[in-house]
Structure 1
Amino acid sequence: MIDDNGRGWAGTRRWVQGALAPGERIVGVHELKGGWTSRMRRLDIAPEDHDRGDDGNNGNSDGGAGYALVLRSFVKPFYRRHAPGMLAREAGVLRLLEAGSIPAPRLRAVDAAGEHCEDPSLVMTHLPGSVRVREDGEVARRTVLLARQLAAVHAVTVPEHERPRAWQAWTSPEHVQVPAATARPLLWERAVQVIGRQAPAHRPCFLHRDFHPGNVLFTGDGGQLAVSGVVDWVETSWGPADLDVAHCSTALALLHGVPAGMAFAQAYEQAGGVLATGEDHLYWRLLDALAFAPDAEKVAVPWRELGRTDLSTPVLAGRLEDYLQALFERYA
């Protein structure tokens, strides 16, 4: 089979096959939307006697004994270079979470350096549910559930020798890209000055580090709405809870508007989470938000693939700037 880049995947297929139980085989491969750093594919797995003639992209394992796995492959040059560390970290975190209550995938196999696969890859179990980023009447309810789930992630107890790497900032004053056409240059200047200070003292905990609506799966609707999975653990870190809250808050502000982004911290605290106050909390919120400057186009691409075609570059740029203003009004 040839993928959409004109490259074969024979090596990856053999490697995945080696991780399956005797008599099982791949009967379908389906692209998953919404990813940015890596290529995600769902692999349908079924017993050898499953009524299927090949392993093409249109397969369907709807037999009683069938199940699905997810294949993550780093194909972009930048992420391929960093794949050994990133995939090894995700594999370690998935093993760590196996015994707990966090609804994370279970690891099946990892080829972090791409020794057997065409691209560095990891295979994990497929979780039920779907990503919900649509603009609808359940945004507020999903926000509450996201906050509860994040508080549970931060409560994970990790032995000192198993703790993930220390948190890393994703921007710095000298790297912030201020929008060229902004009508509020002083706002940006003030925000950049805030993150130029030393990071506030904090009590570190277990961080997902990339927790946002695109990495959380939901099932049900209305009163049955529930979180069914938390995925993408490659950036897991040890650091301040405020940083995870900041990242999800920024994403919500961009997806659903500033009020949604401003509501998340309160929902997190109501779920039992503890955050810094005042300018210390402001530091973490701005450190995350400024990493999206100037226009949040990086997240726009996968969100549009998930149906949010309304999230144009001007819309996201405007929401990001309005969000900065709202942060100063509340926390400065």
Structure 2
Amino acid sequence: MNDEWRKVMPECGDLQQDAILSASVLNWIKNQCGGSWDIYHICPLKGGVSSVVYEIQLQRNEEHAIWVLRQYTDRAWLAEEPDVVLHETSALNIVHRNGMNSPNWIASDPEGSHCGEPSVLMTRLSGEVILMPDDLTSWLAGIAQELALLHRKKIEPFPWSYYSYIDPSQFRLPGWTTRPKAWEEIARIIKEPPPNCTPRFIHRDYHPGNVLWERGRVSGIVDWVNACLGPPGIDVGHCRVNLVQLHGLEAADHFLDLYFDHVQGEQGIEYSAYWDMLTLASYVDVELMVYQGWVDLGVTHLHKDLLAARLDEYAESLLRRS
């Protein structure tokens, strides 16, 4: 087993035999390290909503390792993207080769023939998700710097390309808005042809819930399954619409400034409010709901009225930038 897979972990008692995963899954996991390591403990990880994720703790004599098993159980997603395991596997390998702080791929079960569900096994990065930081400025700076680092990478061709999650011509104004004219203008703008841009390797689901922190610094980025070649503004916009809801407009704008401080002079990376508008339109739904992943991670103060007010304010701010 590669030394990079080994993580020091606190002693947590006698070897446990968990019934969370079947014997077939456990045997498949053990086979990935030649059967010489024992599974010490298994626990579900919170924060995901479209797959189930487990932390797998292993030991061999005095050595310890922590892996992560991700199992795809969303039938609608699997029907739409049956090669999702291959997609994540390819993304993990390419970002690792290019020096990004990301999990190392270990093994895949694309059809679920061993694990019962399509599955990916990877190393666990050290660190934790922080959504409500004590130092908001430093937190935003770390998130912005890591995204800029990704977008500055000259990554080789990748089989998956960006496509919009919505048909802009079908966008309908959210029923909860109190600023319909702003949304009407956004609806008009996103129906126009998108601005020209140089495709870069993008995460495609970049937001604070996929950023890990340790000792006040970003320790890595997770959840690369949607990675593709596409407009960098999609990553920026997706992160900003999450920041608006979590911390308000000022935080989202500060993140934008910090990001462009890091990509200044990088050819082909320019701001366009179009991508912010498109990601905003992709995010809202008829019924506004607090993201369950945030609730699972301890963010319980958000409510629909607050989110609606923040998103309305954000919509108007984007028109001022367009």
TM-score bucket of the superposed structures, by smaller chain: 0.7 to 0.9
Instruction: Provide the rounded CA distance (Å) in 1 between the counterparts of 2:170 and 2:301.
Output: 28
Instruction: Provide the rounded CA distance (Å) in 1 between the counterparts of 2:50 and 2:249.
Output: 26
Instruction: Provide the rounded CA distance (Å) in 1 between the counterparts of 2:146 and 2:140.
Output: 10
Matched with 1:304 is 295
Matched with 1:73 is 71
CA positional deviation for 1:230? 0.6
Q: Structure 1, unaligned stretches of length 5 or more?
A: 50-63
Matched with 2:48 is 35
| 1:272 and 2:263 aligned | yes
CA positional deviation for 1:294? 3.3
| 1:179 and 2:149 aligned | no
Matched with 1:201 is 196
Is the Cα–Cα contact under 8 Å of residues 68 and 121 in structure 2 kept in the other structure?
Answer: yes
Q: Structure 2, unaligned stretches of length 5 or more?
A: 1-17
Query: Which residue identity is paired with 2:99?
Result: S
Instruction: Provide the rounded CA distance (Å) in 2 between the counterparts of 1:118 and 1:283.
Output: 42
Instruction: Provide the rounded CA distance (Å) in 2 between the counterparts of 1:46 and 1:18.
Output: 14
TM-score scaled by length of structure 1: 0.85
TM-score scaled by length of structure 2: 0.88
| 1:166 and 2:161 aligned | yes
Matched with 2:11 is none
CA positional deviation for 1:137? 3.2
Matched with 1:317 is 308
Q: Secondary structure at the match of 1:109?
A: strand
Instruction: Provide the rounded CA distance (Å) in 2 between the counterparts of 1:23 and 1:66.
Output: 12
| Pick aligned residue for 1:88 from 64, 86, 110 | 86
CA positional deviation for 1:213? 0.5
Q: Secondary structure at the match of 2:229?
A: strand
Call closer, same or farther: CA 1:82–1:294 in 2, change over 3 Å.
closer
Matched with 2:134 is 137
Matched with 2:10 is none
Matched with 1:58 is none
Instruction: Provide the rounded CA distance (Å) in 2 between the counterparts of 1:214 and 1:203.
Output: 27
Is the Cα–Cα contact under 8 Å of residues 70 and 124 in structure 1 kept in the other structure?
Answer: yes
CA positional deviation for 1:299? 6.1
Paired residue total: 302
Q: Secondary structure at the match of 1:169?
A: coil
Instruction: Provide the rounded CA distance (Å) in 2 between the counterparts of 1:204 and 1:158.
Output: 10
Instruction: Provide the rounded CA distance (Å) in 1 between the counterparts of 2:44 and 2:200.
Output: 34
Q: Once the two structures are aligned, what percentage of the paired residues are identical?
A: 29
Alignment of 1:223-242 (within 5 A): 225-242=216-233
Instruction: Provide the rounded CA distance (Å) in 1 between the counterparts of 2:75 and 2:258.
Output: 38
Instruction: Provide the rounded CA distance (Å) in 1 between the counterparts of 2:295 and 2:41.
Output: 25
Instruction: Output the aligned Cα RMSD.
Output: 1.9
Alignment of 1:119-130 (within 5 A): 119-130=117-128
| 1:292 and 2:283 aligned | yes
Is the Cα–Cα contact under 8 Å of residues 131 and 209 in structure 2 kept in the other structure?
Answer: yes
- Runs of 4+ in structure 1 over 3 Å off: 174-177, 294-299
